[in-house]
Amino acid sequence: MNNPIDQLVDVLPKAELHLHIEGTLEPEMMLALARRNKVELPYASAEEIRKAYEFDCLQDFLDVYYLGMSVLINEQDFHDLTFAYLEKVSAQGVTHVEIFFDPQAHTERGIAFDTVVDGICSGLEAGHREFGITSKLIMCFLRHLPEEQAFEALSCACKHKDRIFAVGLDSSENGHPPSKFSRVFAQARREGFVPVAHAGEEGPAAYVAEALDDLRVERVDHGNRALDDPDLVARLVRQQTPLTMCPLSNLRLKGIPSLEASPVKTALDAGLLVTVNSDDPSYFGGYINDNYKAVRKALGLDENDVVTLARNSFAGSFLSDREKQSKLDEIDECTDRFRQ
């Protein structure tokens, strides 16, 4: 029998704020697209692909992640990938998503920037029509590449200001501090993009502070290591800067030795605006509700904690205040129904 709080998790309206669309590529779709696009993969079956998902750190995962996305070639591929993700999470109570994409990982392979954006956006539009899920798109710069290349991605993004809402920073964190991208983030902010960044996933608390000070981020992706610095925690609480945590990702990338070590409950209790998300669900063994349920069980979260996480997912989103209020009202209606 399903735990009663997990039953609430299943139906609670939620936003997903930390999701790499390329990280939703399931092995079966990877194989089908490899066949469709005549791309050679070093795997013969979905089982073999899943066996490759043993990671000791972020870089181990990134190597497999960039290889996997080599099957994405045409606009239709990006559409299919996006729609399949929305179809899945529509059955998990997700009503709003703010998703990352990594254009440089595609343009580097000769895929046009517009092909990527057109495919993802048509998938998002179809998902809105079919499931009513609203969305915002976040373009990430790959931090292992030079800042000059990030400027090239930004110049492509400027032609899609109506469709790309924010810019982010992802890929290999250690050795690539936020300050490496100060100039391109300044330019992106001037162009009207909202800044966010992965920080404190493997890198130190100082990288989180740098993301706030140098990049002026409005949201921190992961942010786990911020908890090492009490002054930084106090600042994040005071500013109510959202943190988009990803427990199963942390576990699979050995950022934490067990789910019991996830900082989600500590962050909640400290008054941080923490949210729970799936990061790269195909690679880390679970979509958003699997993440909620995993921390619920490991950390002994109660009903109030779970409702707070769902509320935080909308409070920490880039929806307007009016939209946020209407989403929060939906949560109240859902919890009232559930408690009857």
Given the residues 75, 173, 201, 210, the one annotated as active site = 201
To the query of whether residue 202 is one of the catalytic residues in this protein, the response is no
Q: How far is CA 212 from the centre of its chain?
A: 18
Q: Which is nearer to ligand ADE, 5 or 245 (CB)?
A: 245
Q: Is 98 in the site for ligand ADE (CB under 6 A)?
A: no
Q: Which amino acid is present at 298? A: A
Compute the least distance from the CB of residue 99 to ligand ADE, in Å.
11
CA–CA gap between residue 110 and residue 272 (Å, rounded): 41
Q: Is 201 in the site for ligand ADE (CB under 6 A)?
A: yes
Q: Which is nearer to ligand ADE, 19 or 206 (CB)?
A: 19
Compute the least distance from the CB of residue 280 to ligand ADE, in Å.
5
Compute the least distance from the CB of residue 146 to Zn ion, in Å.
21
Binding to ligand ADE (CB under 6 A) within 261-280 occurs at 279-280
Count of residues in contact with ligand ADE, rule CB under 6 A: 11
Q: How far is CA 30 from the centre of its chain?
A: 20
Q: Which amino acid is present at 316? A: G
Compute the least distance from the CB of residue 245 to Zn ion, in Å.
10
Among 26, 77, 170, 305, binds ligand ADE (CB under 6 A): 170
Do 97 and 281 meet the contact criterion of CB atoms below 8 Å apart? Answer: no
CB under 8 Å to 139, separation ≥6 — which residues?
100, 101, 103, 153, 157, 164, 166, 167, 168, 193
**Choosing among Zn ion, ligand ADE, none, which partner's interface includes residue 23 (Cβ < 5 to 8 Å by kind)?**
ligand ADE
Q: Which is nearer to ligand ADE, 241 or 249 (CB)?
A: 249
Binding to ligand ADE (CB under 6 A) within 12-51 occurs at 20, 23
Q: What is the layout of strands, in order, in the sheet containing 219-222? A: 14-16, 94-101, 134-142, 166-170, 194-199, 219-222, 242-245, 273-276
Q: Is 58 in the site for ligand ADE (CB under 6 A)?
A: yes
CB under 8 Å to 184, separation ≥6 — which residues?
141, 147, 150, 151, 154
> DSSP string covering 90-121, please?
HTTTEEEEEEEE-HHHHHTTT--HHHHHHHHH
Q: Is 279 in the site for Zn ion (CB under 5 A)?
A: yes
**Choosing among ligand ADE, Zn ion, none, which partner's interface includes residue 98 (Cβ < 5 to 8 Å by kind)?**
none
Among 14, 79, 180, 198, binds ligand ADE (CB under 6 A): 198
**Choosing among ligand ADE, Zn ion, none, which partner's interface includes residue 202 (Cβ < 5 to 8 Å by kind)?**
none
Q: Is 180 in the site for ligand ADE (CB under 6 A)?
A: no
Dihedrals φ, ψ of 32, to 5°?
-65, -40
The CA distances from residue 119 to 81, 112, 114, 250, in Å, are: 9, 11, 8, 29
CA–CA gap between residue 88 and residue 7 (Å, rounded): 17
Binding residues vs ligand ADE (CB under 6 A): 20, 23, 58, 65, 170-171, 198, 201, 249, 279-280
Binding residues vs Zn ion (CB under 5 A): 279
Residues labelled catalytic = 201
